[in-house]
């Protein structure tokens, strides 16, 4: 881009914001984007800020300056850093309370980021305070800067590196007393300016969050006392109330990580307990925002004390902090379920800790609190008395009930599912119980029903008192009574009660399997529900699927009824996913039939789907009805795939699989569907998925269709590049590459895939834009290496594949990168001493040729490209190379480390010689992938 003038930039900004012509606005936007990327934008942004032409140009200039510092700081030589600092300080000095917040924020971000990046700028906080703290008009700007500096320390854009970050944090800890004094001075002189009060609290919190303050010295800090005062005052404005809550939450979280507060924790605990009255006042005033803030504070209070609370409650007397659970339960009882929802993560953390400790006496301390939690959630889950029908999808109340389901499943072991089930049953038996109360009780029962059978079975295994054993057995007798009540629901009961009752039957599937005498009446009940509308049929289908999966042995006698359901499936008002699930259940039962019956039943079940698909591919779909989804091939292909996937007969090695006849008979229709829909990637993916399950179902016995299938996918892939065909190729390799007669054809298939694949991946950003193709291609190659290593490693294909893999090392897509790493691991594993000599020599030759580039790319990717959680996959490759040749690994890692930059764009040292030596040593000495992963993660932090 040629150097533009400031006037040209101003004109483009004016066009972007004021020109009514959309095309010209779009052109201006693209031009400004290119301008911001150019080296010239540094100088012109500075000029625009000096001119103060209008709001839009100043905003754009400030955003540009911030963006350049965050993303393109390397463009500036170190000699220009100081002049940039002076320029930004000058711009900042003109900020007043009247300056637009967006400009203040962008300029402050720019200067804060510069202070962090610019290693030659020593003590930036001191510089700012010395220059501006004496000017009352600069209070707003200085507080904004002091807020952003600690907040930006962990910015992923800046990539400060661990060494620079450590230096900055040490410096900020030293400066924290100056900042604290300045904020106190501002608080005393802000003349009740609410904006400044809020900014002061936010600034204090940002320094708390990086643990810059010495906690033992701030117990009497006026800002903390002021936060409590604000939360106690019923007239505090919402924004300041938020900031005060954030401040105290930050202190609690800081104490949780580093409890050296010398009494600060007790002061905060007692201070927050005293806010119960303020919470009650917020409820009385129906001030939901304040109620939510205080609930969040009470919840964080529990979370910050959770480790001590649980560990300290193992004695007969629970830890004093358990009192905070009372506050949380008060909030759970709030009339608005959004308040209760704030506490859910805390209950999950508590349940995890108790579950890991597995101490009944300890758990007993928390049982009363969980019982009250479930009682409160039961009330929250009640629908409105005048509600008609079921809760609609997307309704916030439905989302809340889903979260309630999850939290109940997390905590129910603390109180036992059986006792909870009984408690809810007692509610159902209450005189004059309303329908909404009954439905909510059933909803809670639905979420614990799955655990009842395991609890009953464990009764005899536990060494518990006879009285308790008898009590639990009596409670377990509630289940038959509940089932009986459900089966005898009156016809006029609310639809929501019937819906939830059907769901309970599905969740009781394991109990039904142990009580087979209940199966027939339950099936009759569900069959009636299948013929209903308004969501009941879908619920019944889901329940039937669960019962088929759990009661396989008992359901065999009901196969004729299941087949009748399958024949009438399209007559039921069932959601697509539930219909597929029901076919899954029926298929599971079919898979347990004797071979002759299995083939007949499977052929009939598949026939419903295949006939419709055949009509669609032949253009004769008039008989499929008026519903739009019936004319979508995906509708029928997904059903067929479900059948292929779940009919799993037990077949010995020499027996003919009874599914073979059906799958080969249906192949022509699937083949025609592939040809018919080869232009549609979505439909092709579903067809390929169906074929995959068909191949997996019968394995090598699918040989009769192998040749035609391979020819067809090669032809389609050459013209359409659907990556799902590569995945299907990997399935074929997995199943057939062990057959000598198939190897040559499969190798030809791989060769035919390579050219069109590399054409797509070798264009600019090809790897980044097609991660699915990378994933499926390297999955295919890895499978080939695992099944037929000699043939692939001796072929000329291996070199271009490795070269492509080297480029793909830096791809930050989890699945794609994992497939690349598994490919290298599979390849390198054949160099071990327990492998054939010929293979070992081939792999060692590959390592000699590509090992240095591989380690270089892997280390560069680990440092600059990949997420931290992906480095465990990279570590596996390092370990494989170590198994082959530890000395080569050491040399390769040393060269790769030497090639990395030793300074960042701000001039600070990223990695010292000692750290490089330590890293190489850690990699070479590490014996496990976990140790290598840790070494890579710690090293990568030096550059991030």
Per-residue pLDDT of 202-254, as tens digits, reads 999 999 999 999 988 888 899 999 999 999 999 999 999 999 999 999 999 99
Average pLDDT of the residues in 502-519? 96
Distance CA 773, CA 312 (A): 53
Of the given ranges (170-174, 618-622, 825-829, 902-906), which has the lowest mean pLDDT?
A: 618-622
Q: Residue 865: how many CB atoms within 10 A of its CB? A: 15
Q: Phi/psi of residue 572, each to 5°? A: -90, 150
Per-residue pLDDT of 752-797, as tens digits, reads 999 999 999 999 999 999 999 999 999 999 999 999 999 999 999 9
Residues 559 and 590: beta-carbon distance below 8 Å: yes
Bridge partners (DSSP) listed for residue 903: 909
pLDDT of 532 higher than 70? yes
Per-residue pLDDT of 830-846, as tens digits, reads 988 777 788 999 999 99
Mean pLDDT of the chain: 93
The confidence score (pLDDT) of residue 627 equals 77
The confidence score (pLDDT) of residue 261 equals 55
Average pLDDT of the residues in 126-131? 96
Residues 6+ away with beta carbon under 8 Å from 134: none
The confidence score (pLDDT) of residue 837 equals 83
Distance CA 255, CA 603 (A): 66
Lookup: tokens for 677: 């829909």
Q: Residue 190: how many CB atoms within 10 A of its CB? A: 18
Residues above pLDDT 70, as percent of the chain? 97
Residues 378 and 424: beta-carbon distance below 8 Å: yes
Average pLDDT of the residues in 566-584? 94
**303 CA to centre of own chain:** 22
Confidence of residue 474 (pLDDT cuts 50, 70, 90): low
The residue ranges of every structural domain in the chain are 77-213, 227-361, 382-555, 566-708
Q: Phi/psi of residue 835, each to 5°? A: -105, 170
Distance CA 230, CA 241 (A): 6
The confidence score (pLDDT) of residue 464 equals 56
Distance CA 907, CA 164 (A): 10
Residues 6+ away with beta carbon under 8 Å from 872: 929, 930, 933
Q: Give the global pTM.
A: 0.90
- Radius of gyration (C-alpha) of the chain in whole angstroms: 34
Per-residue pLDDT of 56-90, as tens digits, reads 999 999 999 999 999 999 999 999 999 999 999 99
| Residue 512: its H or E element | helix 509-514
The confidence score (pLDDT) of residue 99 equals 87
Average pLDDT of the residues in 571-578? 94
pLDDT of 809 higher than 70? yes
First to last CA, the chain: 30
Residues 589 and 547: beta-carbon distance below 8 Å: no
Average pLDDT of the residues in 492-514? 96
Residue position matching structure tokens 């090639």: 899
pLDDT of 905 higher than 90? no
Distance CA 151, CA 541 (A): 52
Per-residue pLDDT of 865-875, as tens digits, reads 999 999 999 99
Average pLDDT of the residues in 809-813? 96
Average pLDDT of the residues in 439-453? 94
Residues 6+ away with beta carbon under 8 Å from 857: 806, 807, 809, 810
pLDDT of 469 higher than 60? no
pLDDT of 97 higher than 80? no
pLDDT of 461 higher than 60? no
Residues above pLDDT 90, as percent of the chain? 88
Residue position matching structure tokens 């394991």: 510
Confidence of residue 468 (pLDDT cuts 50, 70, 90): low
Q: Phi/psi of residue 598, each to 5°? A: -60, -50
Confidence of residue 801 (pLDDT cuts 50, 70, 90): very high
């Amino acid at each position: 881009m040629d150097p533009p003038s400031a006037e040209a930039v101003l004109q483009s900004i004016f066009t972007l914001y004021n020109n009514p012509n959309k095309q010209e606005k779009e052109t201006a936007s693209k031009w400004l984007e290119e301008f911001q990327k150019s080296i010239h934008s540094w100088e012109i942004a500075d000029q625009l800020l000096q001119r103060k032409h209008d709001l839009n140009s100043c905003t754009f200039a400030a955003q540009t300056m911030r963006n350049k510092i965050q993303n393109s700081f390397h463009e500036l030589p170190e000699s220009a850093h100081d002049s940039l600092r002076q320029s930004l300080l000058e711009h900042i000095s003109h900020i007043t309370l009247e300056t637009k917040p967006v400009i203040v924020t962008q300029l402050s971000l720019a200067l804060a980021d510069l202070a962090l990046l610019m290693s030659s700028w020593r003590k930036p906080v001191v510089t700012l305070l010395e220059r501006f703290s004496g000017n009352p008009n600069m209070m707003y700007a200085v507080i904004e800067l002091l807020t952003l500096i600690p907040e930006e320390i962990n910015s992923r854009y800046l990539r400060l590196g661990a060494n620079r970050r450590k230096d900055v944090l040490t410096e900020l800890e030293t400066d924290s007393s100056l900042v604290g004094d300045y904020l106190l001075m501002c608080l005393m002189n802000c003349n009740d300016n609410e904006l400044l009060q809020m900014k002061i609290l936010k600034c204090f919190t940002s320094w708390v969050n990086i643990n810059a303050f010495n906690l033992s010295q701030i117990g009497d800090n006026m800002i903390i006392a002021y936060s409590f005062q604000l939360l106690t005052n019923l007239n505090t404005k919402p924004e300041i109330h938020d900031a005060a809550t954030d401040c105290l939450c930050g202190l609690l979280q800081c104490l949780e990580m580093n409890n050296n507060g010398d009494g600060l924790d007790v002061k905060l605990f007692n201070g927050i307990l005293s806010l119960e009255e303020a919470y009650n006042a917020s409820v009385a005033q129906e001030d939901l925002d304040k109620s939510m803030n205080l609930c969040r504070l009470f919840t964080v209070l529990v979370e910050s004390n959770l480790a001590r609370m649980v560990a300290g409650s193992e004695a007969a007397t629970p830890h004093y902090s358990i009192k905070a659970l009372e506050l949380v339960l008060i909030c759970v009882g709030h009339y608005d379920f959004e308040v209760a929802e704030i506490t859910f993560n805390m209950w999950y953390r508590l349940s995890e800790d108790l579950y890991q400790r597995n101490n009944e006496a300890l758990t007993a301390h928390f049982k009363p609190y969980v019982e009250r939690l479930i009682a409160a959630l039961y009330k929250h889950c009640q629908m409105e008395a005048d509600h008609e029908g079921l809760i609609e999808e997307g309704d916030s109340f439905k989302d809340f009930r889903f979260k309630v389901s999850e939290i109940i499943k997390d905590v129910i072991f603390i109180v036992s599912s059986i006792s909870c089930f009984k408690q809810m049953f007692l509610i159902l038996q209450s005189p004059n119980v309303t329908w909404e109360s009954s439905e909510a009780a059933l909803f809670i029962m639905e979420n614990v029903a799955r655990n009842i059978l395991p609890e009953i079975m464990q009764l005899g295994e536990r060494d518990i008192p006879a009285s308790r054993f008898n009590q639990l057995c009596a409670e377990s007798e509630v289940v038959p009574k509940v089932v009986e009540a459900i089966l005898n629901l009156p016809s006029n009961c609310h639809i929501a009660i019937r819906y939830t009752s059907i769901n309970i039957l599905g969740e009781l599937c394991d109990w039904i399997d142990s009580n087979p005498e209940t199966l027939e009446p339950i099936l009759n009940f569900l069959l009636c529900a299948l013929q209903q509308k308004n969501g009941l049929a879908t619920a019944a289908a889901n329940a039937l699927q669960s019962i088929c999966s759990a009661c396989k042995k008992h359901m065999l006698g009901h196969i004729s009824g299941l087949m009748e359901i399958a024949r009438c499936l399209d007559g039921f008002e069932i959601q697509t996913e539930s219909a597929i699930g029901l076919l899954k259940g029926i298929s599971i039962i079919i898979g347990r039939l004797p071979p002759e019956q299995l083939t007949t039943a499977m052929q009939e079940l598949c026939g419903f789907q295949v006939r419709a698909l055949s009509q669609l591919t032949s253009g004769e779909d008039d008989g499929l009805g008026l519903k739009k989804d019936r004319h979508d091939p995906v509708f029928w292909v997904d059903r067929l795939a479900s059948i292929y996937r779940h009919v799993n007969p037990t077949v010995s090695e020499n027996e003919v699989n009874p599914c073979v006849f059906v799958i080969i008979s249906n192949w022509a229709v699937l083949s025609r569907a592939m040809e018919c829909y080869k232009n549609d990637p979505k439909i092709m993916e579903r067809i390929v998925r169906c074929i995959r399950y068909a191949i997996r179902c019968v394995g090598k016995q699918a040989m009769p269709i192998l040749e035609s299938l391979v020819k067809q996918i090669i032809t389609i892939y050459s013209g359409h590049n659907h990556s799902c065909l590569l995945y299907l190729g990997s399935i074929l390799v997995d199943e057939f590459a062990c057959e000598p007669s198939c190897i040559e054809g499969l190798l030809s298939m791989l060769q035919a895939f390579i050219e069109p694949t590399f054409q797509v991946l070798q264009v600019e950003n090809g790897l980044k834009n097609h991660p699915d193709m990378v994933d499926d291609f390297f999955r295919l190659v890895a499978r080939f290496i695992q099944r037929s290593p000699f043939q692939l490693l001796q072929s000329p294909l291996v070199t271009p594949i490795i070269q492509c893999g080297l480029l793909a090392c830096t791809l930050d897509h989890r699945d794609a990168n994992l497939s690349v790493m598994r490919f290298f691991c599979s390849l390198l594993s054949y160099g071990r001493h327990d492998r054939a000599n010929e293979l070992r020599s081939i792999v060692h030759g590959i390592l000699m040729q590509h090992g240095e580039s591989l380690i270089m790319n892997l280390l560069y990717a680990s440092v600059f490209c990949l997420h931290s959680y992906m480095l465990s996959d990279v570590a596996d490759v390092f370990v494989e190379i170590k198994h082959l040749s530890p000395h080569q690994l050491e040399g390769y890692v040393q060269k790769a480390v030497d090639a990395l930059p030793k300074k960042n764009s701000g001039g600070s040292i990223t990695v010292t010689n000692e750290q490089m030596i330590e890293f190489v040593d850690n990699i070479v000495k590490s014996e496990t992938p976990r140790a290598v992963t840790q070494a890579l993660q710690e090293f990568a932090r030096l550059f991030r």
